Amino acid sequence: MKRVSQLTALTAALGLAAFSSFAAEMAPSLTLTALQQQQGALIDTRASAFYNGWPQTLNGPSGHEPAALNLSASWLGAMNETQLKAWASQHQLTPTTPVALYGSDSDNQAVKARLNQAGFSQVTLLSDALQTPARLQRLAHFEQLVYPQWLHQLQQGKPVTAAPAGEWKVIEAAWGAPKFYLLSHIPGADYIDTNEVESEPLWNKVSDADLKAMLAKHGIRHDTTVILYGRDVYAAARVAQIMLYAGVKDVRLLDGGWKAWDSAKLPVQRGTPNKVTPAADFGAPIPGQPQLMLNTEQARGLLHRKDASLVSIRSWPEFTGVTSGYSYIKPKGEIAGARWGHAGSDSTHMEDFHNPDGTMRSAEDIAAMWKQWHILPDQQVAFYCGTGWRASETFMYARAMGWKNVGVYDGGWYEWSSNPQNPVATGERGPDASL
């Protein structure tokens, strides 16, 4: 009897320990109100497309919970411990911050495990997630950044949210011959060489007459919905921004570009583009939106103003004059009075604007980054870089964010630096230097 009693006690003790472990693992969930009362943080573990506003089902809720951060479970494989801790620090999260997650069960579990591993001990679930549509927040024009599964469903003829109003085309954009396109591309996609929209000596956009001919060649009218993607997002963005300038009303980017499609393991196609029937007429005057493309004098007019910003989308070493960023651009430095809008580690990267999977970083993060340099949504804002690609990607993000008065200084640093009379700044400097 005594031995049985000991076993019973041991079993009970083990059971209690297991229960305690289970309870610790599955801490009580919180409502949004309760989390806010605890000054906790909210994390959306879904893909950025759903965080931005795309509904997960045709008539499902759209957007994310108020003030939620996006830490998609799909990013975890691309984030080491240092990067995860840097993300948390950037968003003012400490190991003792109460954190509530929402998304699918598997995504929540994956994110919780990584946060626990990083030392976050108060991680629970949001009990009333996505149940009050009126309080959800979204990217002002999330439909301008499409995601792979949406495009695949559109191609299959299935009903989709924010469907094109009329004829639509998918186009891959890149510089030069379609060497990667020939090996594998999105089924049915046309191909545009960026040399069709910009030309030497300064790599500014081609003339309006040449632009009209290019659009006709690819069967594009003003009312054609064009969905662009690239191996490099900024190549597609360059073409997209120029098409918007021309007057194409509905131009969208595949967020994350070819990498997003490839990672989704969706169908691909090999070979040359299908034959395109040229458009007889664009159907509207070109340019339809001339204000989207600024020349040097218009860019100069934005300097040193509180109601306007000329924004450099170049790496910090480029902005401070350590490097020009390009083998074919010799002068180093920056437009005196320009504000730094961030970019990436060098002239071919845009990490400051990307999630770990290459999709657009949250609008809240981007706006906060810009605000530090006095770049505000109610200003007239023109972006530039070396020759227009990075600036165009940023333009497309600002447009999706709902910034209404944005454009691109086409000539950028290449054109500005070609005239020694234009004022140039070099060296370390802060946001107030542009005031």
Contact present, 313 and 253 (Cβ < 8 Å)? no
Q: Is 95 a catalytic residue?
A: no
Q: Which two tokens stand for residue 290?
A: 């001339």
Please state, as a whole number, how many other Cβ atoms lie within 10 Å of the Cβ of residue 135: 12
Q: What's the rounded Cα separation, in Å, for the pair 270 and 266? A: 14
Catalytic residue among 385, 391, 400, 408: 385
The set of residues, in sequence order, having a beta carbon less than 8 Å from that of 225 and lying 6+ positions away, is: 164, 165, 166, 167, 168, 169, 250, 251, 252
Measured distance CA(412)–CA(203) in Å, rounded: 10
SS3 227: strand
How far apart CA 318 and CA 334 sit, in angstroms, is 7
Q: How many Å from the N-terminal Cα to the C-terminal Cα in the chain? A: 86
Contacts of 120 (CB under 8 A, 6+ apart): 88, 93, 95, 97, 99
**Dist. CA 378–CA 403, nearest whole Å:** 7
CA 304/CA 337 separation, integer angstroms: 6
Please give the helix or strand (H or E) that residue 299 lies within, else none: helix 296-300
What phi-psi label fits residue 427: left (phi over 0), alpha (psi between -120 and 50 degrees) or beta? left
Task: Give me the sheet containing 406-409, strands edge to edge.
Answer: 293-294, 406-409, 380-384, 308-312, 339-340
Q: Which of 202, 242, 210 is nearest to 396 (CA)?
A: 242
Distance CA 145, CA 359 (A): 9
Alpha-carbon distance 413 to 399, whole Å?
Answer: 22
List the structure tokens of 326. 């390009």
Q: Which residues are catalytic?
A: 385
